[in-house]
Amino acid sequence: MTERWSAIAEAAQNRILILDGAMGTMIQRQKLEEEDFRGDRFADWSLPLKGDNDLLSLTKPEAVAKVHNAYLEAGADLIETNSFNATTISQADYGMQDHAEEIAAAAARVARQCADEWTRKTPEKPRAVLGSIGPLNKTLSISPKVEDSGFRDVTFDEVKETYRGQIDAMFADVDALLIETIFDTLNAKAAIVAAQEAFEAHGEERAILISGTITDRSGRTLSGQTPEAFWLSIMHAKPFAVGFNCALGADEMRPHIVAISKVADTRILAFPNAGLPNAFGEYDQDPDEMQALLKPWAESGYINILGGCCGTTPDHIRAIAKAVEASKPHTPPVVEPTLRLSGLEPFQITVNA
């Protein structure tokens, strides 16, 4: 654990921590073109690169730093590296798999520089960097072939290794790892194993935060788990915090945050979207509307870390920070030891006196 993270952990005892908002939304607002993504280094690349936001950490780091600084100015305690897709598997879509670890390292370096600069400005408010580990574009639990349910186009070891490379590349500059936007818990398990192997190899640990995604009103992840079952599947990682992000707005996410807050004996995090997308795929929920929905979560004691996902901006984060500044953080429940198992749903053995 870094000294910086020790300061964050201490702050978490007394107040709700603020996470940043959407990176992609803010990159899109800069209206970057193909040449911005390519830079001089990849000017002759054979595939289109526009949309590979992670690559900007290498080719236009000032665009990434602009986003980090805007969220830090808005009150974020924690910023995520621009590395959501910085793995060999995900970067293969752009033919960039051989550069994935370099991209991850650059993303961590940019975030580190921004966070340290703001910590120097406001030493009473330490800032920390979370290494963003996204879900991949391949899944271990679901076949991509409807005619062959047993088929997988990736193995557990391949997923673990792609995450291991990403984690090693970011390790020196991050204070914690955020395994996020999880739609397949088996992918998350591979990331957890990769993290544990990295800790052993580097001779020190980083805190782990884990955030799943409830994909729709069914109340389950894409691989079929309820919030409680999801927690039981990953609780062995002893995460600093667990929760949900993406897919849903604050109103739709609330019942799932309440559910996991009752069973997880750790801190609870959430970074919902700015509402649900409209007919054009855009997010219309403004900062006042979003903070009005999230403030009761804080007042009811459900949450420890709050931020935003798709469609959110520094204005959203500023409004959320202001709304929850007087609320006390969630107190994890005391969970009695017993046998707990999880498939798609949780199973618990209890003994009646």
Token pair of 39, please?
Answer: 């830079």
Residue 218's pLDDT band (cuts 50, 70, 90): confident
At residue 289, what is the residue type? E
Instruction: Return d(Cα 132, Cα 149) in angstroms, integer.
Output: 30
Q: Residue range 190-216: average pLDDT?
A: 96
**Domains in the chain, please, with CATH?**
3-348 (3.20.20.330)
Residue 315, number of CB atoms within 10 A of its CB: 15
Mean pLDDT of the chain: 95
Burial of residue 216, with CB atoms counted within 10 A of its CB: 0-12 exposed, 13-18 middle, 19 or more buried:
exposed
Per-residue pLDDT tens over the stretch 297-348? 999 999 999 999 999 999 999 999 999 999 999 999 999 888 899 999 999 8
Percentage of the chain beyond pLDDT 90 is 89
What is the pTM assigned to this prediction?
Answer: 0.95
Per-residue pLDDT tens over the stretch 119-168? 999 999 999 999 999 999 999 999 888 888 899 999 999 999 999 999 99
Binding residues for Zn(2+): 246, 309-310
pLDDT of residue 3: 85
pLDDT of residue 281: 87
Residue 353 has pLDDT above 70, yes or no: no
Token pair of 300, please?
Answer: 């009811």
pLDDT of residue 72: 98
Percentage of the chain beyond pLDDT 70 is 99
Q: Which residues are CB-contacts of 28 (< 8 A; sequence separation ≥ 6)?
A: none
Binding residues: 246, 309-310
